[in-house]
Amino acid sequence: MSSVSRAAPRARVPLFTVEAWAPLKVELFRNLWIATLIAQIGTWAREAAGPWLMHLLTEGWHTQPEMVARVLFFSNLPICLFSVFAGALADVLDRRRLLIVTQIWMVVVSGLLGLLTLIGWVNPWLLLALTFLLGTGTAAFGPALQAVLPELVPIKHFALAINMNSVALNVARALGPAMFIVVVTFLHGATGVGATFLLTAASFVSAVWVLWRWKRPPQRAAIHGEEMWGAIYAGWRYTIYSPANRAILLRVFTFIVPALVMWAQVPVIATRQLHMGEQSYALLFAFVGIGAIFGVFLMPGLHERYKIDPVVNVCTAFFALGLIALSFVHSLWAAAFIMIFLGINWVIVPTNFNTATQKSVPSWVKGRAISFYLTVLFGSFAVGAELWGRVTTNTSIHTSLLWGGLSMMGLLVLAYWFPLTLNEGKDLSPAYQAAPAEALALKPDKEGPVRIAVRYRVPGHRDQGFIGLLRDLKNTRLRNGARHWIFETADLPDGQTGFTERITFSSWQEYARSYSRMTRWDLMLESLTREYHAGTEPPVVVEQESRCGFATLVPRPWRATSSAAKPQAVAEPSDTSAIQWLQDRTADAIDRMIDEMFIIYDRLTGRARPSE
């Protein structure tokens, strides 16, 4: 018998596991989860009632499919427009109080919509306006709720808590439309819809009660002393200069827009393709919700067996095939089977987008990263609803579903260049709690922009490797607060090349904040650049801008000694792929545009902003 023993096989985690329910053992999380579940049941009852009310109000209109889709558009547009502001508010204001205010807002607006519907004063445009106001409340609620989630459960159950929120959402997606069906069965037409809106208003009361009883300590601002506009801008710069976040947001857009052909056109699918009536069309929502519940139970096992990318890619392909199959179906029961199948894949894909976002950013920017994710997510809802409403109006529901599935399948090829786990394996924990004492000791006397010049001596045979590393370092500098970044080269004696990073910050305070934003991964990149550096002096120079330029505060570590040492700008690294080059140029262009918008805002409000 061989003396070499085989390793024990790895235990296979069951795909369906009760471990998914572990966060419910925490009383506070359980109470808030039940309250938000009730609120979401009411929300999904309204989501089913709104399109149907628009269907009734626009009976006989040629643009009926487009108007029905606009209910979903106006419901999600505020989340796209205001999530970034809500993310900053969740960092600046007390999150518990913000959550209470948003839930009271939802009670008032939902109740008003219900009363106006019952007395017959609602019309298509008033319905869209009140739907927009309800979406505004949802926009303010989402980032704050996700931001308090780490306070409610142990860190080991954090991912499961995200899944549990998906359970609540998708149970509500099944029960909410079912509640709407029950109501309109007994109260027909607009009366049933109005009663549904009133029940929606009542569903938010339990969340107000739980949040009111929560004795949470007063919140302190968690954004390094920044005000709201500065916090939003810092979050934007992090997102635009993070390849991992850009990849996630692109994948969100390319999945959600094709997928919305189903969500935006459920009433049209029911009436024109399946020939259903008002009492039964909401069953399609319920079938998707049932499938989503199965999908939630699948996720813990899938996460243990496979990585995020293959799970999302396979489920995206399945969803595309489901849309294509649905386009040819005219039977309710065949459609029900497909809707359950779509629901399973629907919950898995966006939930993994959320998980990938949370794992791809450090703690200092997590709330704002979530808000940008929500902006793109619900912006994609709005774009998809409007797009497929127009396509269905001008063609047919069969054509919309077919092209939705085909376009999703075609866009899936982007997964090769834009995986969701670009930051996998990187240590994103904080490297510093504050700026080191040696950096703070160099604080200039005057106010104004600060330029950091980092100079390196690199042996000539190592130039190309160092240039490639600088590209990664550039993104690190810019997403941690730098306003501008360039590098230059100069020929030096002894076959060495001088490299100079010039990093400009809008103020000394922003430079100091950049240290508290650095992660251990960022610090590791800096350590790698030091390994290329052949000099013995610390390669940092701090300069302060004045009317005459940048005045040096400390001696430069080295000076070029020959006439050939005149600094010259260097092009992008030669090994940069075309796609990466295009991403970087697009990020730079968008960032300059956003920067100009903030400058114009400061001028209009009379605030001084240093010029570059």
| Among the listed residues 377, 352, 358, the one whose alpha carbon sits nearest the alpha carbon of residue 299 | 352
> Is residue 186 domain-resident?
yes
Find the CATH number of the domain harbouring 140. Answer: 1.20.1250.20
Residue 396 Cα distances to 31, 54, 270, 295, angstroms: 45, 19, 13, 30
530 and 585 belong to one structural domain: no
Q: At what angle do helices 27-57 and 64-92 cross, to 10 degrees?
A: 150
One domain for residues 200 and 337: yes
Which residues, at least 6 apart from 18, have a Cβ–Cβ distance to it below 8 Å? none
The structure tokens listed for 369 are 């990263």
Q: Are residues 581 and 555 in the same domain?
A: no
412 CA to centre of own chain: 19
Tokens 């796209």 found at: 80
Q: What is the reported pLDDT for 222?
A: 45
Q: How does pLDDT run across 126-149, given as a tens digit for each residue?
A: 999 999 999 899 888 877 787 777
Unique residue bearing structure tokens 């106001």: 133
Look up residue 272 and give its DSSP letter.
I
Percentage above 90 pLDDT, the chain: 18
User: What does pLDDT average to over the chain?
Assistant: 78
**pLDDT score, position 567:** 38
596 and 567 co-located in one domain: no
Residue 538, SS3 per DSSP: coil
**Domain for residue 58, yes or no?**
yes
Which are the contacts of 309, defined by CB distance < 8 A and separation ≥ 6? 415, 419, 420, 421
Residue 422 within any structural domain of the chain = no
Contact 468, 502 (CB under 8 A): no
Question: Which residue, 416, 450, 472, sits at the end of a domain?
Answer: 416
Backbone angles phi, psi at 543, to 5 degrees: -125, 150
| Cα–Cα dist 486/583, whole Å | 17
CATH code, domain carrying 509:
3.30.70.100
Half-sphere exposure of 49 (CA within 13 A, CB side): 35
The reply to whether 608 and 558 lie within a common domain is no
Within-domain flag for 230: yes
Give me the residues of the chain with pLDDT under 50, please.
Answer: 1-13, 15, 221-224, 546-576, 601, 607-612
Q: What is the pLDDT of residue 420?
A: 92
Comparing C-alpha atoms, which of 143, 134, 104, 101 is closest to residue 228?
143
- The whole-angstrom separation of Cα 480 and Cα 519 is 10
Question: What is the per-residue pLDDT across 268-286, written as a single tens digit (0 to 9) for each?
Answer: 888 888 887 655 666 787 7
Both 45 and 182 in one domain: the answer is: yes
Beta strands 496-505; 549-552: pairing state = unpaired
229 and 106 in one domain? yes
Domain that holds residue 534: 437-572
Of the three residues 386, 416, 446, the one that is the final residue of a domain is: 416
Q: State residue 372's pLDDT score.
A: 86
Q: What is the pLDDT of residue 230?
A: 75
- Report if residue 6 sits inside a domain: no
Q: Would 540 be classed as within a structural domain?
A: yes
Do residue 275 and residue 200 come from a single domain? yes
Same domain, 610 and 494: no
426 found inside a domain: no
3-state secondary structure (DSSP) of residue 487: strand
Residues 254, 227 share a domain: yes
332 is a domain residue: yes
pLDDT one-digit tens code per residue, 374-383:
888 888 887 8
Residues 97, 168 within the same domain: yes
- The structural domain count of the chain equals 3
Tell me: do 553 and 592 sit in the same domain: no
